[in-house]
Structure 1
Amino acid sequence: MIDAIAFKYRTGCPWMDLPAEFGSWKGAHNQLWKWAADGTWERIFTALLAQPDAEGDLDWVVAVDSTIVRAHQHAARARQKLPRQASPPTMPSDAPAVV
């Protein structure tokens, strides 16, 4: 199961396109969600990272770029089209007219 889940996230393929060697894609998908819901993934990652973190062997680097983080156009506060206001009326001036 772990190999199937790792393959899916490493390649980015849809669940239905998992190779047959991993077994049922539905089984892998269901197991992933069960483990996420009951906290199994958190316990696994905590256990795997505890010793290297205690020894100072971990360097935490977070890289975010626009290829993986996307916002909907409304999240970016896209300008809304508002009705145009009429120009203020022109007031006659006291200056002499230009001929």
Structure 2
Amino acid sequence: MVRRHEVTDQAWAVIGPLLVPPRMGRPVRDRRQVLDGILWKLSTGAAWRDLPERYGPWKTVYERFRRWSADGTWDRLLAHVQ
């Protein structure tokens, strides 16, 4: 069941390939789970620390959003879906 602020399977098929995991370093958290957490936060306006546990640690989701914003990934993703 897809919740209101979460990405559908159809949308993930389009968005997922844009969020390639890094080649080196430690394993990354599920990219779809992180994206759903970011969308929940942006949709609700809640504090990062209030992120529901189903999206993983709030700090991980926040750091990924910061990284994707800084490296242009977030802008590319938004342009692609528009």
Q: Shared fold (TM-score greater than 0.5)?
A: yes
- 2:56 corresponds in structure 1 to 23
The structure that has the greater radius of gyration is 1
Aligned equivalent of 2:47, options 3, 14, 27 = 14
Report sequence identity in percent: 39
**Pairing 1:36-55 to 2, within 5 Å after superposition:** 36-49=69-82
Q: Which runs of 5+ in 2 are unaligned?
A: 1-33
| TM-score of the two chains, using structure 2 as the length reference | 0.57
User: CA shift at 1:36, angstroms?
Assistant: 0.5
Cα root mean square deviation, aligned: 0.8
How far 1:5 moved relative to its partner? 0.5
**Which 10-residue stretch deviates more, 25-34 or 10-19?**
10-19
**Structure 1: gaps spanning 5 or more residues:** 50-99
What does residue 76 of structure 1 align with? Answer: none
Moved beyond 3 Å, runs of 4+ = none
More helix per residue: 1 or 2?
Answer: 2
